[in-house]
Amino acid sequence: MTAASHPNPIHAILLAFPIGLFTAAAVTDITYLNTAQIQWSNFSSWLLAGGLFFGGLVLLWAIIDLARWRTASGRNRRTLYVLLLAVMWVTGFIDALLHSRDAWYSVTATGLVLSIVTALLALAAGWVFHADPYAGKERI
């Protein structure tokens, strides 16, 4: 997300990964808690790892953009975007550590809550990124 009228497509594609992967991790967590079939917990672990990898790239990109386009319009929105991504990454990381424990303790209620919070933060970041507050107005 720069000051350009259209978002960078590569950035948008990268952002799709943490949104999809973290959301899926919340779903596989629920399935594990319902079935106690360990493979669902394994899925969660890999989904979280993938979300962290791509989420980390997106976060880095967003921070660089924020620094490069300090004076551009939409600064508050871009700052909010970076903050959402950063908190998402931290909660996702703690969640991944928790998922590295064994058997039932790889998820538990704590893990599920963390997965849901992480997914919601990813969705919120996506919303802020894609919602264009300048739609219909003059663009820079």
Partner 1 sequence: MRIRRIVPLLLTCALAACGSSADVAQYGANPTLPKPQTGLLPAMEIAEPTAWEGAKPTVPAGYTITPLATGLKIPRQTLVLPNGDVLVAEGTGGSAPALRPKDIIAGYIKAVGKTKVKGGNRITLLRDADGDGRAELKTVLLSGLNAPYGLAYVNGSLYVANQDSLMRYPYADGQTRITAPGAKVADLPAHINHHWTKALAASPDGNRLYVGIGSNSNITERGMAAELDRAMIWEIDAATGAHRPYATGLRNPTALAFQPGTGQLWSAVNERDELGANLVPDYITAVRQGAFYGWPYSYWGQNVDPRVRPQDSKKVAAAIAPDYGLGSHVAALGLAFSNPAMGPDFADGAFVGEHGSWNRRNFAGYKVVFVRFVNGRPTGKPVDFATGFLNEGGKARGRPVGVTVDPRGALLVADDLSNTVWRIAPAQPVSPPSPAATASPPPQG
Residue 120 CB, shortest distance to partner 1, in Å, is: 21
**Beta carbons of 67 and 42 less than 8 angstroms apart:** no
21 binds partner 1 (CB under 8 A): no
What amino acid occupies position 131? Answer: A
112 binds partner 1 (CB under 8 A): no
103 binds partner 1 (CB under 8 A): yes
36 binds partner 1 (CB under 8 A): yes
CB atoms within 10 A of CB 81: 24
* 49 exposure class (CB count in 10 Å sphere: 0-12, 13-18, 19+): middle
96 binds partner 1 (CB under 8 A): yes
Site residues (vs partner 1, CB under 8 A): 36-39, 42, 45-46, 49, 94, 96-106
